[in-house]
């Protein structure tokens, strides 16, 4: 069977698109587009980010095990910049806040020691609630802690984790899974959007590459809606949105795969046999249940997160609308998962029906062959017997075959009587009982009729 298409698998982000458009981004064309110096800012921001990554890896060697981790400073007015990895130090601005994010790779052998080293000065009792399974939202030592962690092996692509420690001026988050829209990279966004919106120096090749990239996303209409958070609640909403986008990508992958399998099943019987042998739909049902489980966790915990953020921070109307949109998206996702689960059950039942039909067809052919060869077997068995010396058949006696046939007939009658005599006796007994009951009812009705006729007979006699 051919490999499934992965149209909606979105491992590329804005930096990946920049690598695609590197020849155009490194040319003077971008500088001519950005007259206010955005191109210089983009290159300087990238150089600063790379230098900070080198310093952080030297200071925290365990950080090399988490290559997609990052740290950002926010000024509270819609701007952010990379910062060194230091959870102790708060943001430099008065209204600013910091964000440290650790993305856990799936192939990590040992998680405890490296994670405690990276999250220093957090202690074991602070990190443990972030890594536990299931939903949680609560206040611990004045810090808001929430997690939406699914149950399952870390190596599975359908095991997702998201947890965070939220303080008034900092946020530390952990995630597992391809959260493509999680990382904020304003320099790359400026470069790509500047090239996409240029009117004087538009190039068809660059526009085509950007369009091809956006069409690979499962939700390309949301790319330009990504803005830099200006408060901690907005940052929490951004993280939850990225997590919901990841879950939506998983559900979309299921839908695409089901459409593909639905077409393949009707095309070839070998595909059906292979699907039954590999237990494809059973595995898909288990993976979909994991996605449904973590979606249910998100549905349970979102109101609690919003409530506790409202008590500890000033939540803007924009942030409230973001949480309302998240709640609607979660409910929509649960509906889509239930529809996909019903489709999986329907496809699995169709495969079972096809398998039963195949088995019935084989049994039919076997029955036909048995009917054809059974008389031949009886004849060859009967005429191939050596009847000399059989009981009641002396060796010198000639009609030994006749005696054997009589014995076989007697045995056959006995066996048939054992099987058929009890049902026949039961039928006669039931029929006799029925006649007895009918007779009683008839006698009763006759007495009632006689009682009704008695007054008229008396009057006639009078």
- DSSP assignment string, 16-30: HHHHHTHHHHTSHHH
Q: Tokens in use for 59?
A: 């200071």
Residues 396-418, mean pLDDT to the nearest whole number? 76
Proportion of the chain above pLDDT 70, given as a percent: 70
Q: Is the residue at 305 inside a domain?
A: yes
Instruction: Based on the fold, state whether residues 335 and 414 are members of the same structural domain.
Output: no
pLDDT tier for residue 203 given thresholds of 50, 70 and 90: low
Element (H, E) at 272: helix 269-278
Instruction: Based on the fold, state whether residues 322 and 238 are members of the same structural domain.
Output: yes
Q: Is 248 exposed, middle or buried (0-12, 13-18, 19+ CB in 10 A)?
A: buried
Q: Is the residue at 4 inside a domain?
A: no
Residues 163-175, mean pLDDT to the nearest whole number? 90
Q: Could you tell me which residue, 430 or 221, shows the higher pLDDT?
A: 430
Shortest CA distance to 235 belongs to which of 71, 29, 6?
Answer: 71
**What is the number of other CB atoms lying within 10 angstroms of the CB of residue 154?**
13
Q: Is the pLDDT of residue 135 over 80?
A: yes
Cα 457 off chain centre by: 87
Q: Is the residue at 402 inside a domain?
A: yes
Q: How high is the pLDDT of residue 160?
A: 84
CA-atom Rg of the chain in angstroms: 40
Residues 352-358, mean pLDDT to the nearest whole number? 89
Q: Is the residue at 373 inside a domain?
A: no
Q: Where are the alpha helices (DSSP H) in 12-131?
A: 14-20, 22-25, 28-33, 38-59, 112-118, 124-131
d(CA 314, CA 311): 8
Residues 47-74, mean pLDDT to the nearest whole number? 70
Shortest CA distance to 174 belongs to which of 300, 298, 69, 290?
Answer: 69
d(CA 423, CA 416): 11
Q: Is the residue at 371 inside a domain?
A: no
Instruction: Based on the fold, state whether residues 288 and 427 are members of the same structural domain.
Output: no
Question: In degrees rounded to 5, what are phi and psi of residue 137?
Answer: -155, 120
- The residue range of the domain holding 326 is 14-220+227-356
Instruction: Based on the fold, state whether residues 156 and 280 are members of the same structural domain.
Output: yes
Residues 173-201, mean pLDDT to the nearest whole number? 60
Q: How high is the pLDDT of residue 47?
A: 47
DSSP secondary structure, 174-241, as one string: EEES--TTTS--HHHHHHHHHHHH-SSS--HHHHHHHHHHHHTSS-GGGGGG----SSHHHHHHHHHH
Instruction: Based on the fold, state whether residues 135 and 256 are members of the same structural domain.
Output: yes
Instruction: Based on the fold, state whether residues 307 and 420 are members of the same structural domain.
Output: no
Q: Which range (112-116, 141-145, 374-378, 450-454) has the least confidence?
A: 450-454
What pLDDT digit, counting tens, does each position of 260-279 carry? 888 888 777 888 888 888 88
d(CA 87, CA 99): 9
Q: Is 86 exposed, middle or buried (0-12, 13-18, 19+ CB in 10 A)?
A: middle
Residue pair 265/350 in contact (Cβ under 8 Å)? The answer is: yes
Instruction: Based on the fold, state whether residues 303 and 396 are members of the same structural domain.
Output: no
Q: Is the pLDDT of residue 214 over 80?
A: no
Which residues have CB under 8 Å from 287's CB, separation 6+? 156, 158, 254
Q: Which range (142-151, 168-177, 205-214, 441-450) has the least confidence?
A: 205-214
Proportion of the chain above pLDDT 90, given as a percent: 6
Instruction: Based on the fold, state whether residues 412 and 282 are members of the same structural domain.
Output: no
Q: How high is the pLDDT of residue 50?
A: 53
How many domains, the chain? Answer: 2
pTM over 0.85: no
**At which of 356, 377, 407 does a domain end?**
356
Q: Is the pLDDT of residue 426 over 80?
A: yes
Q: Is the pLDDT of residue 33 over 60?
A: no
Which residues have CB under 8 Å from 255's CB, separation 6+? 336, 340
Residues 294-301, mean pLDDT to the nearest whole number? 89
Q: Tokens in use for 95?
A: 């209204």
Q: Is the residue at 166 inside a domain?
A: yes
Residue pair 45/18 in contact (Cβ under 8 Å)? The answer is: no
Q: List the strands of the sheet with 161-167, edge to edge.
A: 80-82, 70-74, 97-103, 170-176, 161-167, 143-149, 134-140
Q: How high is the pLDDT of residue 360?
A: 92
Instruction: Based on the fold, state whether residues 206 and 254 are members of the same structural domain.
Output: yes
Q: Is the pLDDT of residue 233 over 80?
A: yes
Instruction: Based on the fold, state whether residues 396 and 291 are members of the same structural domain.
Output: no
Instruction: Based on the fold, state whether residues 348 and 391 are members of the same structural domain.
Output: no
Q: Is the residue at 239 inside a domain?
A: yes
Q: Is the residue at 9 inside a domain?
A: no
Instruction: Based on the fold, state whether residues 330 and 440 are members of the same structural domain.
Output: no
Q: How high is the pLDDT of residue 56?
A: 61
pLDDT tier for residue 364 given thresholds of 50, 70 and 90: very high
């Amino acid at each position: 069977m051919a490999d499934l298409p992965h149209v909606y698998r979105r491992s590329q982000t804005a930096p990946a698109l920049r690598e695609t458009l590197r020849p155009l981004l490194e040319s003077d064309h971008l500088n001519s587009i950005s007259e206010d110096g955005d191109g210089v800012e983009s290159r300087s921001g990238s150089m600063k980010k790379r230098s900070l990554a080198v310093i952080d890896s030297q200071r925290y060697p365990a950080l090399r095990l988490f290559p997609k981790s990052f740290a950002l400073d926010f000024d509270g007015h819609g701007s952010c910049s990379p910062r060194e990895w230091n959870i102790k130090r708060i943001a430099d601005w008065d209204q600013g806040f910091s964000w440290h994010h650790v993305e856990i790779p799936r192939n990590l052998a040992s998680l405890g020691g490296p994670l405690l080293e990276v999250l220093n000065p957090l202690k074991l009792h602070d990190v443990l609630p972030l890594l536990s399974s299931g939903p949680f939202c609560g206040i611990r030592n004045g810090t808001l802690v929430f997690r939406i962690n699914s149950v399952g092996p870390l190596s599975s692509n359908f095991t997702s984790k998201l947890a965070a420690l939220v303080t008034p001026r900092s946020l530390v988050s952990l995630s597992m899974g391809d959260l493509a829209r999680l990382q904020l990279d304003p320099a790359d966004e400026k470069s790509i959007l500047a090239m996409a919106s240029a009117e004087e120096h538009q190039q068809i090749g660059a526009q085509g590459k950007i369009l091809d990239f956006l069409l690979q996303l499962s939700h390309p209409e949301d790319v330009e809606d990504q803005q830099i958070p200006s408060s901690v609640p907005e940052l929490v909403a951004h993280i939850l949105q990225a997590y919901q986008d990841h879950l939506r990508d998983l559900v979309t992958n299921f839908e695409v795969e089901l459409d593909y399998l639905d077409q393949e099943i009707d095309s070839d019987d070998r595909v059906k046999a292979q699907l039954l042998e590999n237990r494809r739909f059973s595995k898909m049902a288990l993976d979909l249940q994991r996605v449904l489980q973590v979606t249910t966790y998100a549905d349970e915990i979102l109101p609690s997160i919003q409530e506790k953020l409202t008590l500890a921070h000033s939540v803007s109307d924009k942030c409230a609308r973001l949480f309302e949109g998240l709640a609607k998206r979660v409910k929509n996702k649960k509906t889509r998962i239930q529809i996909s689960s019903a489709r999986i059950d329907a496809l699995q039942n169709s495969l079972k029906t096809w398998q039963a039909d195949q088995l019935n067809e084989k049994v039919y052919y076997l029955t036909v062959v048995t009917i054809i060869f059974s008389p031949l077997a009886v004849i060859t068995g009967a005429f191939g017997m050596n009847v000399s010396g059989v009981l009641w058949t002396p060796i010198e006696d000639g009609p030994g075959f006749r005696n054997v046939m009589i014995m076989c007939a007697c045995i056959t009658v006995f066996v048939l009587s054992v099987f058929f005599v009890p049902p026949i006796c039961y039928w006669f007994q039931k029929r006799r009982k029925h006649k007895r009951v009918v007779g009683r009812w008839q006698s009763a009705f006759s007495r009632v009729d006689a009682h009704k006729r008695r007054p008229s007979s008396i009057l006639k006699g009078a």
